Amino acid sequence: MASPQTMLDKLWSAHEVLRRDDGVSLLWVDRHLVHEGSHHAFAKIKERGLPVAETALTFAVVDHYAPTRDRSRIADPQITRMIDTLRGNAAAHGLRIYDLEDPHQGIVHVVGPEEGLTLPGLLINCGDSHTSTHGAFGALAFGIGATEVAHVLATQTVWQRKPKSMRITVDGVLGAGVTAKDVALGWIAKLGTDGAQGHAVEYAGSAIRGLSMEGRMTLCNLSIEGGARFGMVAPDDKTFAYLDGRHFSPKGADWKAACADWAALASDEGAVFDREVTLDAEEISPTVTWGTSPEQALPITAAIPDPAGVPPEKAEAARMAIEYMGLKAGDMLEGTPVDQVFIGSCTNGRIEDLRAAAAVLRGRTARVPGLISPGSAQVKAQAEAEGLDRIFTEAGLEWVASGCSMCVGMNGDLVGEGKRCASSTNRNFKGRQGRGARTHLMSPAMVAAAAVTGTLTDVRPLLEGRAT
């Protein structure tokens, strides 16, 4: 009898072409997603006169530098050059490109699932760390560097050392106003940004099964902020329902066979993980970051910590973070004034995220300016069909086109120097949203609450009596 296998074991062995003496595996890549930042890799294969090995498995997406306004006349020549370079590389190699005016354009980690490019059991690579998002479908998905991108372009394979396995089990029912974003920030705050270092995280438990596919994508997206190589959720009926009918999903008899295969990807009963962590869903609260690392996060009802009271090895980082953020130890997080808000990104720019924000903003007026950038053109169209855009604009917030937008600040969308932003993005590093920007990470509903009050705010009272 074969030993019980984890989902990681099954996916890894299915893609392993060979293993070197040092234990590093050569893996077959089923989907390769490229964007404007992939130009270095295209230059490498051009220098060697190499074609893209598998053009049918390589897809180009304009997202990082995609302007969210005035796309017909881009003012910044650097942005124009980056987008034109991707267009040129896609044309030279015959790749499908999701360009600015494409009705299916958007952030690469939103477009992949929407199009059915992301499927259970596949190995998916992209030159972007948040490729882990696609693991929500039971895929082996991780970001790679420029040299590795070039290797995949040329060979459709990638060298990787198999990570250790880690299971984070979240049982129970999440409370009102508590989301996948809070689950992610909660476990990262508890375990640290190196808490899952060297591991692939599989999420399990009743609370995870209760999440929508959008919520699972948020959770897997943030896995790397806790040091994980990637995150995964076993495919189930919710996965199949989401993928049914997508453009690249199997059809007809192939669909039924695929679902049967995908259901078998789940970790076997009795499979042994290198590390196990268990969390109680009912102990998780709406959470916000107070510092400059995703692990520097606390429930909104908590006070900003005193560096003297944190573990000695993290005291200096806490002191520097509090200084950079312009905060004071002992002050309550709730009530901290914000200057602006942002909702969007590959973490929280999907239709569920926009609905959650609209539930808070409906009939209310924002006290601070803000930007809302849907994760894709399809999300934008759906939100407008549901009237969510009118809720946002009537509240006084700006509704723009899809792209990475203010998450990366490469496209003209920035937080002003010294300004404090309530953001639904994935990173709060110094300068991430602009030079001197002060970023607090939270769920879209919590961002909406901050917009309404002008301060970091517990969203739960604002949701009372409202459908979410």
**Crossing angle of helices 180-191/213-221, nearest 10°?**
30
Report in angstroms the alpha-carbon separations of 238 from 34, 118, 175, 220, 241.
Answer: 28, 14, 21, 16, 5
466, pLDDT greater than 90: no
Residue spans of the domains in the chain: they are: 7-162+239-259, 164-235+267-283, 298-459
Q: Which pLDDT belongs to residue 1? A: 64
> In this predicted model, what pLDDT tens digit does every residue of 16-68 receive, in sequence order?
999 999 999 999 999 999 999 999 999 999 999 999 999 999 999 999 999 99
Give the model's confidence band at 70: pLDDT under 50 very low, under 70 low, under 90 confident, else very high: confident
What CATH number has the domain spanning 298-459?
3.30.499.10
Query: Topology of 7-162+239-259 in CATH?
Result: Aconitase; domain 3 (3.30.499)
Superfamily covering domain 164-235+267-283? Aconitase, Domain 2 (3.40.1060.10)
Please give the model's pTM, rounded to 2 decimal places.
0.97
Fold: same for 7-162+239-259 and 298-459: yes
What residues are paired with 169 via a beta bridge? 204, 278
> In this predicted model, what pLDDT tens digit does every residue of 143-177 receive, in sequence order?
999 999 999 999 999 999 999 999 999 999 999 99
CB 77 within 8 A of CB 179: no
